[in-house]
Structure 1
Amino acid sequence: MRTEALLGRFLDALTPLRPRAVWAHGSLAGGDYQEGRSDLDLVAVLARPPGPGTVRQVVALHRRLAHEPLAARLHCGYLAPAALDDPGRAHLTWAHGHVLRRPVTPVTRRELHAFGRVLHGEPPTGLLPPVPDETLRGFVVQDQRDFWRPAVDKARLWRQDIWVDLGLLTFARATVTLREGRLISKREALAELPALGAPAEVVDDIARRRYRDPAPPDDDGRLARRAALTRAYLGPAIDALVAAYG
């Protein structure tokens, strides 16, 4: 399997950084991973805080792997043990071919505790503080209110598959987390959407592209209709969710 081969080479390349742990989260850990379509979401806990030399090593490491199949989908946050207790703190991250700084969010932290996959070293429960329910709920509401709701008003975004898919699936996952206190996969979120009143045409479009035909023809009329249906549903749905749990 190409995924396992890439993970093995990635772990070998990490050896000079002496990681205490490497974990997978997201679909790779949660059982909804699809090779060639899903991202490989990883967290590496290093022995020391990342400095300028570490940044150069990380860049060189990922560039050496760039020719590997699936390498463009491999994203990894690099943390030090002393920085693990603050879910709002941004960490050195490699994603989308660049060095970024991103936090390890409460949702990711809860995923790691609930079903994180240990690729190397210590388990999340030994290093990562647990996420209180109140912290998780607060983050989920804030993410819907402050990121996704303003995004609904930016019409140009919703002609893209990634925004339609993540917007609706993240909303369904947020709803279940706030309603029941548990995390669900993207596949489970897709199954939740009809009961949440999402437009059937858009739900079927997501299911077809994710699980059956990943490359439908681009058609301006179809994309415009899908965008309009998604935005008309998602804006009021987020407003109602935030009002109920915010």
Structure 2
Amino acid sequence: MPTDTLLARFLDGLAPLTPVAVWAHGSLAGGDYVEGRSDLDLITVLDHPVGARTAWRLASLHARLRSTPLAGRLHCTYLTPDTAAGAGRRHLTWAHERLFKRPVTPVTRTELHTFGRVLHGAPPADVLPPVPDGELAGFVVRDQGDYWRREVDRAAHWTQDIWVDLGLLTFARATVTLREGRLISKREALEVLPGLGAPDEVVADIRRRRYDGAAPAAGTWAVRRARLTRDYLGAAIDALVAGS
């Protein structure tokens, strides 16, 4: 499989940097991975500080992988044992064909402890501190209220498949996390959405595209779908945040 080939080449390229661990989270770890559609979300723990020279070596590694199928979907954040604590700390990350810094969120940390897939080295429990009580729920509420609610008002986003899919699936996952204290996969979130009052037509559209290979939305349907999604999601997020 192209995914296995890419991961093998990535691990081979990392070997000279003597990683302590390489883990997968997201769809690849949670059993919801669809090759060619899902991202490859990884965390690598290195045994030395990630300074300028290491950053250059990592950028070179990712550049060498560009000709490998699916390489554009491989995202990796780089930690060290000394920097693994604290969800607010920003870490060097390769994603979207560039290096930048971003945190390892409480959602990602919880995924790693709950169902993280070890690709190399030590398991998450040996390196990554557990998520403190209340931190996951607090993050989920802020993410819905501060980020997603603002984006709902930006109408231009919502004719695009990616915004419809992530907006609704993230909302369903957030709702279950706040109600039950657990994480669910995107596939499970799709099954939850009808019970949360999401528009049936939009849920069916997501299912057809993500799992049945249907074409992207276009034309008048994309416009109508955007209106249905925004009308539902804005009110739903407001109610979720108000009740939290």
Provide the rounded CA distance (Å) in 1 between the counterparts of 2:120 and 2:93: 18
TM-score, length of structure 2 as denominator length:
0.98
- Which string of whole-angstrom CA distances, capped at 9 and with x for unpartnered residues, describes residues 144-163 of structure 1? 01100000000001111110
1:90-169 mapped onto 2 (5 Å cutoff): 90-169=90-169
Aligned residue pair count = 244
Provide the rounded CA distance (Å) in 1 between the counterparts of 2:48 and 2:121: 15
Provide the rounded CA distance (Å) in 2 between the counterparts of 1:82 and 1:216: 44
Corresponding residue for 2:226?
227
Q: Does 1:242 align with 2:227?
A: no
CA RMSD, 1 decimal = 0.8
CA contact 1:29–1:115 (8 Å) conserved in 2: yes
* One-letter code aligned to 1:103: P
- Which string of whole-angstrom CA distances, capped at 9 and with x for unpartnered residues, describes residues 175-204 of structure 1? 000000000000000000000000011101
Structure 1: give runs of 5+ residues left out of the alignment: none
Provide the rounded CA distance (Å) in 1 between the counterparts of 2:26 and 2:199: 26
Provide the rounded CA distance (Å) in 2 between the counterparts of 1:32 and 1:133: 27
Provide the rounded CA distance (Å) in 2 between the counterparts of 1:178 and 1:206: 23
- Which string of whole-angstrom CA distances, capped at 9 and with x for unpartnered residues, describes residues 118-155 of structure 1? 00010000000001230000000000011000000000
Corresponding residue for 2:175?
175
4+ aligned runs moved over 3 Å, structure 1: none
Point out the more displaced range, 17-26 or 207-216: 207-216
* One-letter code aligned to 1:129: P
1:51-70 mapped onto 2 (5 Å cutoff): 51-70=51-70
- Which string of whole-angstrom CA distances, capped at 9 and with x for unpartnered residues, describes residues 69-101 of structure 1? 111100000111111111011100000101111
Q: CA deviation at 1:214?
A: 4.0
Structure 2: give runs of 5+ residues left out of the alignment: none
Provide the rounded CA distance (Å) in 2 between the counterparts of 1:65 and 1:80: 23
Provide the rounded CA distance (Å) in 1 between the counterparts of 2:49 and 2:17: 11
Q: Does 1:202 align with 2:202?
A: yes
CA contact 1:21–1:120 (8 Å) conserved in 2: yes
Provide the rounded CA distance (Å) in 2 between the counterparts of 1:173 and 1:204: 17
Q: Does 1:50 align with 2:50?
A: yes
Q: Cα distance 1:166–1:12, how it changes in 2: closer, same or farther (>3 A)?
A: same
SS state of the match for residue 101, structure 1? strand
Q: Cα distance 1:164–1:78, how it changes in 2: closer, same or farther (>3 A)?
A: same
CA contact 2:161–2:217 (8 Å) conserved in 1: no
Corresponding residue for 1:74?
74
Q: CA deviation at 1:217?
A: 5.6
SS state of the match for residue 19, structure 2? coil
Corresponding residue for 1:10?
10
Provide the rounded CA distance (Å) in 2 between the counterparts of 1:94 and 1:216: 27
CA contact 2:152–2:234 (8 Å) conserved in 1: yes
Provide the rounded CA distance (Å) in 2 between the counterparts of 1:38 and 1:167: 16
Provide the rounded CA distance (Å) in 2 between the counterparts of 1:30 and 1:186: 9
Counting aligned pairs with the same residue, the percent is 67
Q: Cα distance 1:244–1:30, how it changes in 2: closer, same or farther (>3 A)?
A: same
- Which string of whole-angstrom CA distances, capped at 9 and with x for unpartnered residues, describes residues 20-72 of structure 1? 00000001000011111110000000111210111111111001000001111
Q: CA deviation at 1:2?
A: 1.4
Provide the rounded CA distance (Å) in 2 between the counterparts of 1:134 and 1:216: 38
